[in-house]
Chains A and B, each alone.
Chain A
Amino acid sequence: MLSGQLIGRLVSMAGRISLSRGSTGSGTIGPVETAIRSKLEQALNPEVLELRNESGGHAVPAGSETHFRVAVVSSRFEGLSPLQRHRLIHDALSEELAGPVHALAIQARTPAQWRENPQLDTSPPCLGGSKKTRGTP
């Protein structure tokens, strides 16, 4: 109903909300990030895999690996609903999601969908809830 152009506009506007959120500050890639990447590559053979550690925008210690955003572009998603696509990603990362990873924003696209708008979106800013819940997924 809404056009692709509109979606692009919404995403680009959303991207301007907080451009500085997507990094741990240190710029290093931690073990959890490495594991997420390798498990998704193995499970879904993605054409594109973009992963951003967004933990720096949250109330967790510097260098944390608790909040991530991922874009997975795979032909395996053809014909699957968003819910089914997300579940495939959750299944691949069950260990991480049961442990250190507190939040995982997911863009699960087919190659054609990715070509329409090939960018990793930006998550909304943290509102402080993780202060109370630190250490629990």
Chain B
Amino acid sequence: MSGSLGRVSAALLRWGRGASGGGLLVPGVRAAGSDTGGRSAEQLDALVKKDKVVVFIKGTPEQPQCGFSNAVVQILRLHGVRDYAAYNVLDDPELRQGIKDYSNWPTIPQVFLNGEFVGGCDILLQMHQTGDLVEELKKLGICSALLDEKQEQK
């Protein structure tokens, strides 16, 4: 357990380096955001339900433009979640406002799991720290890399 704890701490400390450190490659993450078209509630509803894990961030997973968005990317990365849709709201002012209205949440980043709004950076970090994120990912059929690591150490 102590090994995985060390890694968790290390990864949290790593946030902030994403953009300046040459970018983090996140294989499998689709840079969505250019094909969203209209902004009706129905369309946003379809967008957040299209993928099991959907995030709305400033910048891209490879190059986040905000510390809070970067934290979301790093937490997902830490759990080995590679297959998620990331929408860059800086590319799309309509989406930026539309998603805030849709979820009734005033800030970016925003995280959706299985079409359900989870919260922003603070709540995702809290779920990570309490272990709830591992459980929520499990419900989606995603096995957290942190869980794998813990089992290997047993």
Contacts and interface: CB of A to CB of B under 8 A. Distances in A.
B12 A10 contact: yes
B67 interface: yes
A13 B12 contact: yes
Contacts of B131: 1-2
Given A98-B106, A127-B67, 14 more contacts: A1-B131, A1-B134, A6-B8, A7-B129, A10-B9, A13-B9, A18-B16, A82-B119, A86-B119, A90-B105, A125-B16, A126-B66, A127-B18, A127-B64
| Nearest 7 Cβ contacts at the A-B interface | A1-B131, A129-B65, A124-B67, A97-B106, A129-B58, A129-B66, A125-B16
Contacts of B121: 105
Interface of B: 5, 8-9, 12-13, 15-16, 18-19, 58-59, 64-71, 90, 104-107, 117-123, 126-127, 129-131, 134
Given A2-B131, A13-B9, A82 B66 contact: no
B107 A103 contact: yes
B106 A90 contact: yes
Given A2-B130, A90-B106, A124-B68, A132 B16 contact: no
25 contacts: A1-B130, A1-B134, A10-B9, A13-B9, A13-B12, A13-B13, A14-B13, A17-B15, A18-B16, A82-B126, A83-B118, A86-B119, A86-B120, A103-B68, A104-B106, A105-B68, A105-B121, A107-B122, A123-B68, A124-B68, A127-B19, A127-B65, A128-B19, A129-B90, A132-B90
